Amino acid sequence: MCGIIGYIGKKRAAPILFDSLKKLEYRGYDSVGIASINGDAEIEIKKGAGRIEAVNERMNFLSVNGSIGIGHTRWATHGGVEDKNAHPFLSCNGRFALVHNGILENYLELKEDLVKKGHTFTSDTDTEILVHLVEEEVKNNGEKDLVKIISDLTKIAKGAYTFLLLDAKDHIIYAFRKDSPIIIGIGEDELFASSDITSFLEHTNKVIILENNQLAVLKEKYTIYDTQTGKEVKQKITTIDWTTEQASKTGFPHFMLKEIFEEVEISKHSLEQDSLKLNGMIEVLSKAKKVFFLGSGTSFRACLLASIYFAKIAKKHFMPILGSEYKTYQNLVDKDTVIFAISQSGETADVLQGITLAKAKGARVVSLINVIGSTIMRESDQYLTLNSGPEIAVASTKAFISQVLILTLLAFGVADRLKEGREHLYEVVRKLESIMNQSDSIAMLSKDVLNKNDLYLIGRGVSFPIAMEGELKIKEIAYIHADALAGGELKHHTLALIEPGVTCIALVPNDDTKDDMINNIMQIKARGGEIIGISSEHLELFDHYIPIPKVHLEPLLMIPVLQLISYYLSVIRGNDPDFPRNLAKSVTVL
Ligand code: F6R
């Protein structure tokens, strides 16, 4: 989704903006641009459709002068992927430039009105009306209070519009938040404003996370206003404990591989939850009449897995719901309901929409998030954090394992078996390294055996959502058609597709699903299918075998195996696993 960055300080803005934009790349984008106020108090804009490096070759971002500027990575919603639709946009008089994250609902009628008033538009975007609106209001209000003018915008423009406005006359950046995040970074003699902490983390880790409808005015100093009351507000400065090393590749060819390997370390941090918060969460879940897990994509797979462990370990029926399907279940939600939102980014629009609707019905909202200060965290009555550090690759890996570990710990907690749960989970964590040590053989197997156009993954019990997560990853970054199914479903449909040459990945943990899985494997083999077995036991039925250590919660060790398979398949096929086509890291649109 769109990324925004602003800089004001003593250094040249262009190189800082350029570096920050590269750090925003992971969010997914199709166009890029920067604007800076050069020495003559004029705004210079360079922008275009394409990847940052390619646009830079055409435009030479670094040639832009000035020490105050804004930048943007665009993920197209309104208007095609063309140079003219890249942000920033300039007002007719050249005084203002603007970048935006969000969607303006009533832009067409506003545009019509502005055109009648003589404004010229250069793009097909909804965003561009904002900069003309500001210009128009400044004209009508006789150059008065910009804070008031921007505050009044909320009465005119409808939708989500977090934006940065660069004012060449007064040398100010205005940062306004409505519905998607904006974080102010406070450095030595310099200020940043961005949709993402990692974009300026190398300069400062002191931040203010703006609330909805707040406006930060950045000059030598910053001031924050509540645009609803017009009053200045004091916001707490938070120190973020993420490091720049966590947000860089540190020798790995891709962020995704680095983040899979990081699981060995971060899993420990994930389990080291603050005991007050953990017990508080266990209490809420134990007492709740109804609990609905809410998540999308990979996080939904964690919800599914959690619902199985809560059933098995804690004898609780907690229902997993896809963020985008929340409305289907709205009738079941009331003041006795707990919505448990699971989200790495804490910004997923589908999940947020569900939260808003559930709150309106009096439900309690708790969450498990990775990004501190994210909207879902702030909308929650209670939350736990994954403690995974920044996840940069679009495909979620280390966050998924953290989600699964913490949710399983909670299931043990609700069953009043927290100590035992911790022991089992630390046993898994201790064995993660042995999976990483097999990465070369997993890479070989991926190249020699799994590089097919169709793959099937079968598992039962908790191994089923893990197979589903493997399917998701293989489709997402290797662009291979994959299909995950519960072993018992084979005979109901997919067996019809099994013939010689068909490859199935079978998840065979040493648990109560093992015998049934062996049955399914025999059904596949009887029809000529080939089996790649992931198990702690080398069964003769396997054509190829990926060993995992024998532990109590064995299926959890299959997670990194499938992540590594998807990673290597992606690389073998010449894809960039960090940037899957058409996908974004933080999905802030419905
Ligand atoms: C897939 C992936 C996505 C996310 C989904 C939800 O690898 O990362 O499917 O899981 O977009 O994102 P969060 O967890 O940020 O709510």
Residue 155: the pLDDT is 81
**Domain end position, chosen among 239, 261, 294:** 239
Are 54 and 160 contained in the same domain? yes
Distance of alpha carbon 80 from alpha carbon 495, whole angstroms: 43
Are 84 and 225 contained in the same domain? yes
Q: Any idea which of 127-131, 304-308, 475-479 has the lowest mean pLDDT?
A: 127-131
Q: Which residues form the domain of 204? A: 3-239
| Chain segment 296-337, per-residue pLDDT in tens | 999 999 999 999 999 999 999 999 999 999 999 999 999 999
How many domains does the structure of the chain reveal?
3
- Decide if 583 is inside a domain: no
Are 95 and 221 contained in the same domain? yes
Ligand 1 atom closest to Cα of residue 351: 16
**Domain end position, chosen among 222, 239, 256:** 239
- Decide if 426 is inside a domain: yes
Give nearest CA residue, ligand 1 atom 10: 298
Q: Name the active-site residue from 2, 47, 473, 514.
A: 2
CATH number at residue 481: 3.40.50.10490
Give, for 270, the enclosing helix (H) or strand (E).
helix 255-271
**Domain end position, chosen among 406, 437, 468:** 437
| Chain segment 63-80, per-residue pLDDT in tens | 999 999 999 999 888 888
Are 142 and 116 contained in the same domain? yes
Q: Any idea which of 107-121, 403-417, 524-538 has the lowest mean pLDDT?
A: 107-121
As a whole number, the mean pLDDT across the chain is: 94
* Residue 298 CB-half CA count within 13 A: 27
Give nearest CA residue, ligand 1 atom 7: 395
Give nearest CA residue, ligand 1 atom 9: 297
Is the distance from CB of 169 to CB of 41 less than 8 angstroms?
yes
- Decide if 351 is inside a domain: yes
Are 180 and 158 contained in the same domain? yes
Contacts of 183 (CB under 8 A, 6+ apart): 193, 194, 195, 196, 197, 207, 208, 209, 210, 373
Q: Which residues line ligand 1 (CB under 6 A)?
A: 296-299, 343-345, 348, 351, 395-396, 472, 476, 587
Ligand 1 centroid vs 139 CA: distance in angstroms? 44
Give 39: exposed, middle or buried? Use CB within 10 Å, 0-12, 13-18, 19+.
exposed
Residue 449 has pLDDT above 70, yes or no: yes
Does the annotation mark 335 as catalytic?
A: no
Q: Which of 396, 566, 578, 588 to mutate to test the pocket of ligand 1 (most atoms within 8 A of CB)?
A: 396
Residue 182 has pLDDT above 80, yes or no: yes
Mean pLDDT of 21-44: 89
Are 505 and 364 contained in the same domain? no
Ligand 1 centroid vs 362 CA: distance in angstroms? 27
Contacts of 251 (CB under 8 A, 6+ apart): none
DSSP 8-state assignment for residue 104: B
Q: Which of 301, 326, 344, 394 to mutate to test the pocket of ligand 1 (most atoms within 8 A of CB)?
A: 344
Q: Extract the runs of DSSP E, i.e. beta strands, from 313-453.
A: 319-322, 337-343, 364-369, 382-385
Residue 143 has pLDDT above 70, yes or no: no
Are 211 and 270 contained in the same domain? no
- Decide if 411 is inside a domain: yes
- Spatial CA neighbour of 584 closest among 394, 424, 399: 394
Ligand 1 centroid vs 585 CA: distance in angstroms? 7
Are 212 and 263 contained in the same domain? no
Give, for 559, the enclosing helix (H) or strand (E).
helix 558-572
Q: What whole-number percentage of the chain has pLDDT above 70?
A: 100
Are 89 and 125 contained in the same domain? yes
Distance of alpha carbon 11 from alpha carbon 449, whole angstroms: 53
Ligand 1 centroid vs 220 CA: distance in angstroms? 38
Mean pLDDT of 426-449: 97
Q: Any idea which of 35-39, 119-123, 256-260 has the lowest mean pLDDT?
A: 35-39
Mean pLDDT of 459-473: 98
Mean pLDDT of 479-490: 97
Residue 215: the pLDDT is 96
Are 314 and 458 contained in the same domain? no
Beta-bridged to residue 337, according to DSSP, are 290
Residue 554 has pLDDT above 70, yes or no: yes
The three-state DSSP-derived secondary structure of 66-77 is CCEEEEEEECCC
- Decide if 256 is inside a domain: yes
DSSP 8-state assignment for residue 298: H
| Chain segment 495-550, per-residue pLDDT in tens | 999 999 999 999 999 999 999 999 999 999 999 999 999 999 999 999 999 999 99
Residue 292 has pLDDT above 80, yes or no: yes
Mean pLDDT of 430-449: 97
Residue 584: the pLDDT is 83
Are 66 and 51 contained in the same domain? yes
Q: Name the active-site residue from 23, 46, 47, 585.
A: 585
Are 284 and 202 contained in the same domain? no
Ligand 1 centroid vs 98 CA: distance in angstroms? 29
Ligand 1 centroid vs 344 CA: distance in angstroms? 7
Going by pLDDT thresholds of 50, 70 and 90, the confidence category of residue 158 is confident
Does the annotation mark 11 as catalytic?
A: no
